[in-house]
Amino acid sequence: MKIALAQINLHIGNFEENTTKIVYCIKKAQQFNADLVVFPEMTVCGYPPLDMLDYKDYADKCQDAVKRIAKICTNIAVILGSPSHNPNKQGKSLYNSAWFLHEGEVKSIHHKTLLPDYDVFDEYRYFEPNNEFNIVEFKGHRIALTICEDLWYDQNFDNGFGNKRLYTVSPMDKLITMKPDFIVNISASPFSWSKIQDKKDIFINTSLKYGVPVFMVNQVGANTDLIFEGGSLVVNQKGELFDRVSWFEEDFQVYELNEVLNTPAHGTDKASTSVMEMIFRALVLGIRDFFAKNSFSHAILGLSGGIDSAVTAVLAAEALGHENVHAVYMPSEYSARISGEDSRKLAENINISFSETSIDKIAGSFIDTLKPMFKNLPEDTTEENIQSRIRGSMIMAMANKLGFIMLNTSNKSESAVGYSTLYGDMIGALSVLGDLYKTRVYELARYINRNEEIIPETTISRPPTAELKENQKDSDSLPEYDILDEILFRYIEQQKHSSAIIEEGFDSEIVEKVIHLVNSSEFKRHQSPPVLRISSKAFGRGRRMPLVAKF
């Protein structure tokens, strides 16, 4: 049996485009004489469709698309993902389903059992869990058909309460009793730089436990904040990686089942050995798809001479083309000469358009106008924030007038502790670096410069500063980033209490201060742009904290 894996980039709700891609891949599989072609989870509608699933006509369009696709499956079988209606009068209205198509019709529908409701996932909101298990019989082979999380039963779910299993039922324990010859898993599993090996282990351990090969096809592309890396794979019955499909791009591969079963695994794994390369490619894909799927073309951002804006500009130029990115440098009386020089040099290095305009007169006018209301109170962060808001307003004005989309350049460290200005440096349509701690941003800059100096070396080597007052440095207000980021990682990603962090050797006063800043800045993050997620716990839908609380 020949099995094709079709790793495609899906556009949520774009039934016409998605169906066209699916049909193209089916015809391509037929040219390769494939018997079966497998597509990702939620193929016809894209993942995650969120509250679009609350509209019955949306679910109806999904099923209509599946039935149209089924009509061309006359000499080939297809497995694809789509919502399906729950015929029962109890429970949720929909299932998250894998559809088996053959001989011009829908032969069977198999529902997802394990519905994740942690981090960015909320599938129990929309779907009824499966409780019936069946095997697909096709051309003398028995197929265990699973959907993404269905193979994640054995994962350790440690959320601070101790290691435990998240689910009480294992779909494969049910299906293995029916003696399948191989497992198919259709997935829409988003990228996290720390989870690449964990994902691989899930499929290797599954094949080892049950003694059958696994064919997994994952969605690729980005939908708003979620980036899907692809990386579909085949694991043989011995738990050996037989092949890995490409990362961060569409791909199509055909495998002979007998070769997977009988040929020694060659261990091809196209995974990059560099985490930074993975992160770079993920962010580029996130920007590119955000613009393409929204029919945007031109980006604008503020350059400051600092590391964050420089890295964002490089990523934008890589994603959209240098001709589609414009940068603005807006110095004040506190801006160092080197900041302007580095901004201009970066724009030249990546060949993006560049403009410069001072904010001194506007800032002076603001402050003069407000003086009577300030009642001779001493200067503080108010005057600093005015500068930031002026810059934000100027870039947004240019974006409106010239048809640009503004990119936000704030990093995760700043967002975490509120070292940012509402309606100033926090504005933008998309936060590119909002899931990278400051130390990671520096690592990414060094990756960008691995072959030649693209980001000026002085941008990387200078102490970070907002340049909103004389001789200002970030370390005036915050711990050094190498300490700050370690504390933040433990509190946000690992969800550790302050006492546990202090026990690891961190200064208790610093830890308590940092956690207080994180908790008191929640109202700011609720007004931030969507963040491209590249970690296991990004700000946004994956970390839902109350605005008003005391803990």
Q: Which residues are catalytic?
A: 41, 112, 148
Q: Which 3 state secondary structure label does DSSP give 73?
A: coil
Beta bridge partners of 100: 79, 108
Residue with tokens 């700011």: 524
Residue partners of 431: CB distance under 8 A and separation at least 6 = 408, 410, 415, 528, 529, 530, 531, 532
Please count the residues of the chain: 551
User: Which parts of 171-274 fold into alpha helices (H)?
Assistant: 171-175, 196-210, 257-262
Contact yes or no for 430/407 (Cβ under 8 A): yes
Structure-block tokens of residue 189: 């599993």
Structure-block tokens of residue 220: 């690729």
**Residue 4, phi then psi, degrees to nearest 5:** -105, 135
What is the per-residue DSSP string for 350-403? HT-EEEE---HHHHHHHHHHHHHHHTTPPP-HHHHHHHHHHHHHHHHHHHHHHT
**What is the rounded distance in angstroms from the CA atom of residue 301 to the CA atom of residue 123?**
35
Alpha carbons within 13 angstroms on the beta-carbon side of residue 382 total 11
Residue 262: alpha-carbon gap to chain centroid: 37
**What is the rounded distance in angstroms from the CA atom of residue 169 to the CA atom of residue 166?**
9
Sign of the torsion angle spanned by Cα atoms 506, 417, 463, 342? positive
Contact yes or no for 445/311 (Cβ under 8 A): yes
DSSP state of 490: I
Structure-block tokens of residue 484: 């700050």
**Residue 48, preceding bond cis, omega within 30 degrees?**
yes
Structure-block tokens of residue 57: 């006509």
Helix axes 56-70, 15-31, angle to 10 degrees: 20
Contact yes or no for 186/40 (Cβ under 8 A): yes
**What is the rounded distance in angstroms from the CA atom of residue 8 to the CA atom of residue 284?**
17
Strand boundaries in 386-449, DSSP class E = 405-408, 430-431
**Residue 544, phi then psi, degrees to nearest 5:** -105, 105
Q: Which 3 state secondary structure label does DSSP give 220?
A: strand
